[in-house]
Amino acid sequence: MKLVSWNVNGLRACLKKGFMDAFAQIDADVFCLQETKMEQGQAEIDLGGYCEYWHSADKKGYAGTAVFSKIAPLSAAYGMGIDEHDREGRIIRLEYEDFYLVNVYVPNSQRGLMRLDYRMRWEDDFRSFVCELDKTKPVIICGDLNCAHQEIDIKNAKSNVNNAGFTPQERGKMTELLNAGFTDFYRRRYPDRQGVYTWWSYMPGVREKNIGWRIDYFLGSDRLCEYVSDAVIYPNIYGSGHCPVGLVVRA
């Protein structure tokens, strides 16, 4: 089973930049999107045999998630059941026979860390949410987590300390999540691989010079590790400031 996650930074814009070509090329069984910035039906998308699940923000043109799945899940749910968090379309949870899939777009702490306090509440509530799911069956978490966890996950670590996405507080919360029984599948498979990123600034030359951050992930319950055949990053697929990431799991 191949799962893929991509922050498209506006699906309508990404559709004009080769999204459908990338979608066909990757040919995932489950394709998760973040930052769709649209509602279902606002663009024509021919997905063939995929089931569609959309969670849009109350605010038009902001945030939002979607999942396209060849395999019909047992159930679908939206948000984490906390009104403060669920107005921005940031979570879709699908239940499959052997696991839960949680597609998530974690809030950015913003310039000047104006939203850091809120982000800390989100992190604690999200961790409780996925830990509760994990009591029933294993959980796969994918999406833009807006955090470069370790220094190896960011090109210029020292100059970015205390910038949104690389604060000690955000990195600490990700450590807490992993310590609660979850694994970063890419880093487990490639613990020492450097220069591998999933997001680059739109400033000229930044992506060409590979000055990036790894902030898009597949995490999952520790007990799923034996079923993961590969974890993939697709840096050569454009269309967004982020590139897709993937996970291959066997039955």
Q: Which residues are catalytic?
A: 105, 144
Which amino acid, one-letter code, is at 143?
G
- What is the C-alpha separation between 21 and 17, in angstroms, rounded? 9
Structure tokens, 27: 């040919």
- 13-48 burial: b if 16+ Cβ within 10 Å, else e: ebbeeebeebbeebebebbbbbbbbbbeeeeebeee
DSSP 223: G
- What is the C-alpha separation between 160 and 107, in angstroms, rounded? 18
Angle at 167 between CA 117 and CA 234, to 5 degrees: 110
Structure tokens, 178: 């992993």
Q: How far apart are the first and last CA of the chain?
A: 8
Question: Which among 51, 101, 94 is positioned nearest to 74, based on CA atoms?
Answer: 94
Three-state DSSP state, 47:
coil
Order of strands across the sheet with 91-95? 75-78, 91-95, 100-105, 139-144, 216-221, 182-184
